[in-house]
A and B are shown apart, each in its own frame.
Chain A
């Protein structure tokens, strides 16, 4: 079991370009969570998805950001027309079930570090 795989690990984009971040959950996990971490700050919830469904996107900015988790393939976090303020580490976590009760562990990927220049 390779764990939660995120790619790319590092991504550099110019202002106005699009950024696509990919997350492959652990085998057998159908729940995916995306978090953003700014320097010196804690992880902030963005969106929670199950296969083909967005369950909770309350932490996602209303514009330019979107997420999907198709029936086949990885979950994608897409940021259109990136700005310097989008520079951060984006972490994906997956779990077998939800809610994230005491018996439900969330496993994190290594993150994608996005730098907007």
Chain B
């Protein structure tokens, strides 16, 4: 079954600290993996997109890694800010179904001052 599992479900960190969010997927055949940020009450906004041949991609303080062999990805946030408080969603594209997007349930991050 094509699934995307994320951990932890929620996370609280102090402002300025780093954190890493995890994503495991069973989607096959795999096309690409995306990380989105969703603020409360808003639509998801893309952070990174990676193909199977990419191991890492950065977008400012966000760095995503991908291990296509183990089907794992992580999103590392450096020097967290209060505005990083949001849900972070791992999304995998299923090549077999026209690259249909399969969403994880998200990790809710709360950054405290």
CA A110 to CA B41, docked complex, whole Å: 7
In the complex, are the beta carbons of B104 and A99 less than 8 A apart? Answer: no
CB distance from B23 to the nearest CB of A (A): 11
Interface size, chain B (Cβ < 8 Å): 25
Partner-binding segment picked from A38-46, A63-71, A74-82: A38-46
CB distance from B61 to the nearest CB of A (A): 20
Dominant secondary structure at the B interface = strand
For A111, the chain B residues whose CB sits under 8 A away are 41-43
In the complex, are the beta carbons of B31 and A99 less than 8 A apart? Answer: yes
CA A109 to CA B43, docked complex, whole Å: 5
For B106, the chain A residues whose CB sits under 8 A away are 42
CA A109 to CA B45, docked complex, whole Å: 9
Listed from nearest, the 4 A-B pairs whose CB atoms lie closest are A108-B43, A99-B99, A42-B103, A100-B99
Given contacts A41-B105, A42-B104, A42-B105, contact A101 B43 (CB under 8 A): no
Given contacts A56-B98, A101-B32, contact A110 B103 (CB under 8 A): no
Dominant secondary structure at the A interface = loop
CB distance from B53 to the nearest CB of A (A): 10
Given contacts A42-B105, A42-B106, contact A110 B43 (CB under 8 A): yes
CA A75 to CA B49, docked complex, whole Å: 26
In the complex, are the beta carbons of A108 and B45 less than 8 A apart? Answer: yes
Pick 14 A–B contacts, CB within 8 A, sort by A: A40-B105, A42-B104, A43-B44, A43-B89, A45-B100, A45-B101, A45-B102, A93-B43, A99-B93, A99-B99, A100-B99, A100-B101, A101-B99, A110-B41
For A106, the chain B residues whose CB sits under 8 A away are 46, 101
Does B22 lie at the interface of the complex (its beta carbon under 8 Å from any beta carbon of A)? Answer: no
B44 closest partner in A (C-beta): A108
